[in-house]
Structure 1
Amino acid sequence: MLTVFEAPKASEAKVKLKNGITAYLVADATAQPLVSLQVAIRGGAYLDPKGKEGLTSAWGAQLRQGGTRSLPAEKLDARLDFLAAQLNTYGGNEEAGLFLNLMEKDVKEGLALALEVLTQPAFAQDRLDLWKRNRLRALEQLNDDPAGIERYQVGLLTYGADHYAARWPTAAALQGLTREDLLAHHARMIHPENLSISVGGRFDKTRMVQLLNETFGALKAGSEAKKNGLPPAPTHTPKPGLYVVHKENPQGRVSFLLPGLKRNDPDWVTVEVMNFLLGGDFTSRLTYLIRTQEGLSYTVNSRFSEGAWHPGSFRAVFQTKARSVAYGCRLMLGELKRMQEEPVTEAELAKAKGALINGFPAGFASPEAVAELFLNEAYRGFSETYHATYRDKVKAVTAADIQRVARKYLPLGKLAILVVGDKDAVEAGDVKDKPGKLSEVAPLPVVELPLWDPMTCTPLKK
């Protein structure tokens, strides 16, 4: 008799440490003798002061790379190597964190090392200088790669130049970062109310709670520590248009951009099913038409980002020969329009729903994955009951529901279409086989965007 998979419950894994830190513990006595720890830190690049962009990124990297007060970087590296442990830290746009993976038998020492890295960083000057040199070198090369150009132009179009998600550190900001800046930022960030923890693997839960209380549970807020707020929502409203960035290249990169929704929105599951059919799977309509049938692109897909604190965004992408860009855009537009105008077939819908339902248990494949899932969803404020009702919501989606959300969340008149490639070639199109200019693809204003100077984060003059 087949057993119906029941999603684990976050409430059953959640514990509170003695200082109020929430931890999610998922143990499996039959798993390999490994333990994974994740510490999520509330904060990110959205906290970087103007002129100090890159501060959170530098701080997050140097927590690990710069050693601790009692263990210089080389000795910390050697000790972790001896334990066959992996310990990494990072600072992102909307969160920072620490990851540790090691053998079950070394958990006590590993937790002590992780706490030391988090609370007693040395921020070695030579390691900080190396990090800055590497970042500056990457900045210098940003406009060499069409993918890098596309990435920052998508951010600018979606969020606006003043939003943290579209900004990057200038050369002056990077060069101006000091060890004292990192120390001050660290004093602010390490507050128990900014921390949450997950532990997954093979361990005794009672003993793990004891060890966590002896380490992270004993952490107290310093005099400079602050409880960080949530990332601010963008105030920028994306403008519809066909945006072209000139970059001499035989290929063109294309992104269709639209505003999205929060994952807590009642429409989210229906939108997920709709996008699975549109471009969210290798069997989707966009992949079949643009890759399989027309042979224009190896990679083509679409997705709605999971909006947490503010609505996410929609993005559909493909890359093809410059002269095929206009034709590929017409095909993609046609599929977006068809999703709105024609109900999906019952066979398509059944296949999509079956794939999402049958693939659901894979998200809970290991205790580490489950613990990290609970932590990351709690960090973003998602409902703890989401997974308990997910499959029933997928089952309830109808063809009419798909058509409704397609009309609501794929408004063609609000599209921002970004093309990065040789402007003359992409505009001319495939004159011989698939005639049609790029500017004639949609009734949208055509705007030529400049490259930005990566060193100053300002538009380059034409």
Structure 2
Amino acid sequence: MAPRTRATAKKEKSAASRPLKLPTVTETTTSSGLTVLAAERGPLPLVSMRLVLRAGSSTDPKDKHGLADFTVRLLRRGTAKMRADEIDEAIEFVGASVAGGVSEDLMSIYVTTPAEHFAAMLSVLGQLVREPTFPEKEFDLAKDRALAQFANDLDDPSTIADRAFTRAQWGDHPYGHDVGGSASHVRTFIREDVVRFHRERVGPKGALLVVVGAVKPEVVAAEAEKAFAGWSQTDQLDPSPAPAAEGGVQAGRILIVDKPDQTQSQVRIGGPGYPLGHPDYFAATAMNIALGGGFTSRLVNEVRVERGLSYGVSSYFDAMSVGGAFAISTFTKTESTREIVDVSLGEVAKVRKGGITPKELKSAQTYLAGLYPMRTETNDSVASVLADIRVYGLGDDWVEKFRDRLRAVTPKQVKAVSAKYLFPKPPAIVVLGKASEVEKQLKHLKLPITVVPVSEYE
């Protein structure tokens, strides 16, 4: 996060004073059962579309981690009517863009297009999700690329540490594996796995299409009907969220990922958080800005400024549909692993016991209130927040009342969420580094220690 200058502060104050209101939303449903939200918005002649499906990595089969992510990457590599090169040409010719991605809960396909080509691009989007062919050649290429990336990841300590941290926190829960899966699972993929996943997970049940930009709602409804007519997935499984984890995020242990050639330690510390849409969101977010989510936060001051232990340290809440986590992420030279863990836990303990100061709370509220209007500056950001509101049940007044709810947070509320989320029980600690040096530095924490080779996380 960049340091705040006088100009930045003035801009934040100006942004924070502007009323926030989303454009009028018109809701329709296609004959195939797809829910469509349309919001006309100018003045630029552009349209952003976002198709959201409950087919995230939490729906991966137990022995096929990464299949949702692998599937979305193949959607534009051929349909019943167009080859991959024809799809690429159709998109590029009109100056549009199409991308797809997967989170723990959702699969999303994003389209941005000049308004005059809206109908054509919506038709392409419909083809991608309704009738992909998953050509064998494209499947093989995608699999080779994925496996090569896993091999490359072993040279990226931060990526491997994050992967190990996810598994350590969530265990066997559907959230407990990396969105992209692992080499051992991807290596077993066959084309029929992708075909089956598409048949069972990519359908109109629970799907949402959000269209924002210079196009009339009635045009959106008519073109959506054309693009998704006949999209009937009789084999589509129930698109319900992942089951809530019993006991939430796992904690109270240390995992050391051994990479003997490392001269630095990647450190992750975490415990339970809250799911998306939880009432604690506003107080917890303000508290976290003061603790480790801002450039002038306590963790940054103690770890980077005062002690020079690392160039980077941050804390964050990771909220998903049925659960969440609070975590700290940093790195340091091998010999200072104990110190950076102790300092981080010490700062967390101070806030857990005493909350933050009224000045810190006011600063966090001002910063977040000034930042939030950016969520409504572009068609794509408006489409994103409209999708979040509907998928996670945030309420239609989420944007309009966001800053009021943020400013209403009191020091008492911050102290309550601090006591609730800032490791009231011993956290899970993951360190990627030289185990022979790191293990002895962490024994004083008196937590169970497990050492595994880095190859476990390819």
Q: How does 1:330-341 map to 2 (within 5 A)?
A: 330-341=342-353
Shift of 1:128: 0.5
Corresponding letter in the other structure for 1:205: P
> Which residue of 296, 311, 315 maps to 1:302?
315
**Counterpart position of 1:264:** 277
Q: Cα–Cα, structure 1 residues 356 and 423, in superposed 2: closer, same or farther, change >3 Å?
A: same
Helix, strand or coil at the partner of 2:210: strand
Q: Does 1:146 align with 2:146?
A: no
Shift of 1:337: 1.4
* Structure with larger Rg: 1
Distance 1:307 1:94 in 2: 7
> Which residue of 342, 366, 372 maps to 2:354?
342
Helix, strand or coil at the partner of 2:400: helix
Shift of 1:173: 4.2
Helix, strand or coil at the partner of 1:413: coil
Shift of 1:252: 0.9
Shift of 1:412: 4.5
Distance 1:213 1:387 in 2: 29
Q: Cα–Cα, structure 1 residues 347 and 362, in superposed 2: closer, same or farther, change >3 Å?
A: same
TM-score (norm 2): 0.88
Helix, strand or coil at the partner of 1:305: strand
Distance 1:454 1:124 in 2: 31
**Counterpart position of 1:433:** none
> For the Cα contact (< 8 Å) 2:266–2:431, is it kept in 1?
yes
Shift of 1:453: 4.3
Corresponding letter in the other structure for 2:148: R
Shift of 1:291: 1.5
Distance 2:227 2:355 in 1: 56
Q: Cα–Cα, structure 1 residues 343 and 79, in superposed 2: closer, same or farther, change >3 Å?
A: closer
Helix, strand or coil at the partner of 1:35: strand
Structure 1, unaligned runs of 5 or more:
429-436, 458-462
Distance 1:123 1:235 in 2: 37
> For the Cα contact (< 8 Å) 1:59–1:91, is it kept in 2?
no
Shift of 1:159: 0.7
Q: Cα–Cα, structure 1 residues 180 and 427, in superposed 2: closer, same or farther, change >3 Å?
A: closer
Helix, strand or coil at the partner of 1:265: coil
**Counterpart position of 1:329:** 341
TM-score (norm 1): 0.87
Percent pairwise identity:
24
Helix, strand or coil at the partner of 2:267: strand
Q: How does 1:384-403 map to 2 (within 5 A)?
A: 384-403=396-415
> Which residue of 203, 209, 215 maps to 2:227?
215
Shift of 1:384: 2.8
Distance 1:375 1:264 in 2: 13
Distance 2:203 2:432 in 1: 43
Distance 2:363 2:422 in 1: 22
Distance 1:5 1:209 in 2: 32
Q: Does 1:113 align with 2:124?
A: yes
Corresponding letter in the other structure for 1:410: L
Distance 1:250 1:202 in 2: 54
> For the Cα contact (< 8 Å) 2:59–2:174, is it kept in 1?
no
> For the Cα contact (< 8 Å) 2:53–2:206, is it kept in 1?
yes
Q: Cα–Cα, structure 1 residues 451 and 54, in superposed 2: closer, same or farther, change >3 Å?
A: same
> For the Cα contact (< 8 Å) 1:58–1:128, is it kept in 2?
no
Structure 2, unaligned runs of 5 or more:
1-13
Distance 1:178 1:25 in 2: 38
CA RMSD in angstroms, aligned pairs only: 2.5
**Counterpart position of 1:380:** 392
Distance 2:241 2:137 in 1: 33
Corresponding letter in the other structure for 1:439: K
> For the Cα contact (< 8 Å) 2:257–2:454, is it kept in 1?
no
Corresponding letter in the other structure for 2:337: V
Shift of 1:38: 1.0
**Counterpart position of 2:58:** 46
Shift of 1:394: 2.1
Distance 2:87 2:166 in 1: 37
Q: Deviations over 1:205-237 (max 9, x none)?
A: 332232223323x24414333442222233475
> For the Cα contact (< 8 Å) 1:26–1:368, is it kept in 2?
no
